[in-house]
Amino acid sequence: MAHVTIAEASDAPNHPLALRMGVIAGVCFNVVIGTVMGSFSVMLASAQERLHVPLHQAAVGMLLVLIGSSLTAPFVGVLMAKFPLRRMMQFGALLTTAGFLALAFTHSYTVYLGVYGLCFGPAMTLTGSVGPNTLVTRWFNQRRGLAVGLVNLAILIAIMPERLKVFVDYAGSDAAYLLLAGLCGLIMLPLTLFIQDYPPDHRPAAVAVEAGAGEAAAAARTADGSLSMGQLLRQPKLWALCVATSASMTSSILLGSLLIPIGTSWHYTAYQAAVLASIMSLIGIAGGILFGWVADRIGGARTLALVGFDCMVLWLALLLHPPFAGTAVVIGLIGLHGAAAMPALARALSDAFGAASYSRGLGLNTLISLPFSMIAILGSSLLLQKTGSFSLAMQAMAGLFLVGCLCGLFAARTGGSGHAGRAAASLA
């Protein structure tokens, strides 16, 4: 058993340009997530009408986004460790813009599926998740969890559902898609030109190998001090962290995609359901800051365990079918906790495996989360269509959060985590 340790100067001051990179990362995250995820539930009804398909077929669009992003995420995580991050995030911006332009001019279900799977799916990884979070992780040494939480503040998605619903009712779906394309192209394409991959004084992380460990141990990490995909996949802690994070990601994706039809099944109007979606995202803004701060203090794994327990209780509360005000409070609190996933995972991954391994770890997390999200979206939409009820899905989500809580506790108790920027992994 060869023990390999990576040392990072996480107590070193952040570079003066770190704030600029954080702003760019936050804007790119907001535009991609806000336009793709924030518009989907609102545009479902018009998509059904334009394409002449039932709800569960229209909802496949979001499923393809998840599949496209999840399948590309591990490859993107590797590529971002080898190729310019700026170019990859620019490509994601182009894909998002082109996708909305295509939707504005087509009534083909095949094109609709292609846009969500081949354009929006990879774009979500390149410019909406792995790209921005990798950028901020590279630039921030101090308060990394809080920085990731701030970057993942879903401000645009908080106002998108309600405002876009009003715009669609006034101008129609074609104009709405053109508006979304304009937002993506005019904001992200110029902004990504200013991305710098690393601080000017960046050096590959130092790798310390025990004396006498031999060449195999010396090669345990790649040239930049990161773990390879295979090495990460052999770490039980990675799997525990990914399952714990999957619960939060599945919850956010499920409500973000289907909250309007779910709300109408609770006998609310479509506008009231859109308001619930905005409340969830608005309160989630505070969650990114709160849980980023918490993750920096108690660790990412413990934060994920805390989120799992709280969200289990909140999803069970929805089974009581509270009045609109009570539902808004519960949905808002779910949004608050949903924002914890990225800062908690960033803190946990970088502590356990080093910042250089973060893009690969996040890519694997996205892939591992895919089955949970697929089952949630397809199962929930079919249940809503056949039974008109969401109760069974709410029970399943509560159970998933219980599993996530236990996985977070397991990850917090296992080795391989550190503080002050020192992480150690035991590799066979």
pLDDT at 208: 40
Dist. CA 22–CA 17, nearest whole Å: 9
Residue 208 CA to residue 229 CA, distance in Å, equals 20
Give pLDDT, residue 407: 94
- Residues 404-409: what's their mean pLDDT? 94
For residue range 347-402, list pLDDT tens digits in order.
888 778 876 777 788 778 878 888 888 888 788 888 877 887 888 888 999 999 99
- CA proximity to 12, closest of 100, 139, 103: 139
pLDDT for 134 equals: 87
pLDDT of residue 108: 92
Look at residues 167, 221, 177, 240 and name the one whose alpha carbon lies nearest to residue 357. Answer: 221
Question: Residue 59 and residue 64: Cα distance in Å, rounded?
Answer: 9
For residue 142 the two structure tokens come to: 């101090």
Q: Pick the residue with more confidence: 372 or 207?
A: 372
All residues at 6 or more sequence positions from 313 whose CB lies less than 8 Å from its CB, including other chains: none
Quote the tokens at residue 321: 């079918």
pLDDT in tens, 43-78: 888 888 888 888 778 888 888 888 888 888 888 877
Contact 252, 128 (CB under 8 A): no
- What digits encode the pLDDT tens for the residues 149-180? 788 777 787 788 778 888 988 888 899 999 99
Q: The tokens 């590959």 sit on which residue?
A: 204
Token couple for 13: 């001051």
Reference 217, options 229, 208, 228; nearest CA is 208
Indicate if the pLDDT at residue 207 is higher than 50: no
CB 154, CB 281: distance < 8 Å: yes
**62, 121, 217, 289, 329 from 37: Cα distances, Å:** 8, 11, 43, 21, 21
- Cβ atoms of 10 and 420 closer than 8 Å: yes
Structure confidence at residue 421 (pLDDT)? 38
Categorize the per-residue pLDDT at 24 as very low, low, confident or very high, splitting at 50, 70 and 90.
Answer: very high
Q: For residues 96 and 112, what is the distance between their CA atoms, to the nearest angstrom?
A: 13
Token look-up 């704030």 returns 19
Q: Is 417 in contact with 423 (CB distance < 8 Å)?
A: yes
The reported pTM is 0.67
Q: Are 74 and 363 in contact (CB under 8 A)?
A: yes
The boundaries of the domain holding residue 23 are 2-427
pLDDT value of position 314: 94
Based on its alpha-carbon atoms, the radius of gyration of the chain, rounded to whole angstroms, reads: 21
Distance CA 272, CA 262 (A): 11
Helix axes 341-353, 300-318, angle to 10 degrees: 150
CB atoms within 10 A of CB 250: 27
Residue with tokens 């295509």: 102
Please list the residues that pair with 427 across neighbouring strands.
2
How many H-runs (helices) and E-runs (strands) does the chain carry? 19, 3
**CATH number of domain containing 369:** 1.20.1250.20
Question: Tell me, what amino acid is at 406?
Answer: L
User: Distance between CA 37 and CA 385 in Å, rounded?
Assistant: 21
Q: Is 140 within 8 Å of 18 (Cβ atoms)? A: yes
Q: What is the rounded distance in angstroms from the CA atom of residue 356 to the CA atom of residue 373?
A: 27
Per the model's pLDDT, the better-predicted residue between 150 and 301 turns out to be 301
Q: Which of 3, 59, 9, 69 minimizes the C-alpha distance to 33?
A: 69
Give CA–CA dist 3/74, Å, rounded. Answer: 25
Helix (H) or strand (E) holding 427: strand 422-427
pLDDT digits (tens, 9 = 90+) for 273-293: 878 887 887 787 788 788 888
Give residue for tokens 């990362």.
25
Q: How many residues appear in the chain?
A: 428
User: What is each CA distance from 154 to 129, 211, 288, 322, 335, in whole angstroms?
Assistant: 12, 47, 8, 26, 10
Question: Mean pLDDT lowest for which of 56-65, 87-96, 181-190?
Answer: 56-65
Strand locations in 66-166, DSSP E?
none
Q: How many domains would you assign to the chain?
A: 1
Mean pLDDT of the chain: 81
The answer to whether the CB of 408 falls within 8 A of the CB of 308 is: yes
- 254 touches 397 (CB < 8 A): yes
Residue listed under structure tokens 């229209």: 58
What values do phi and psi take at 426, rounded to 5?
-100, 120
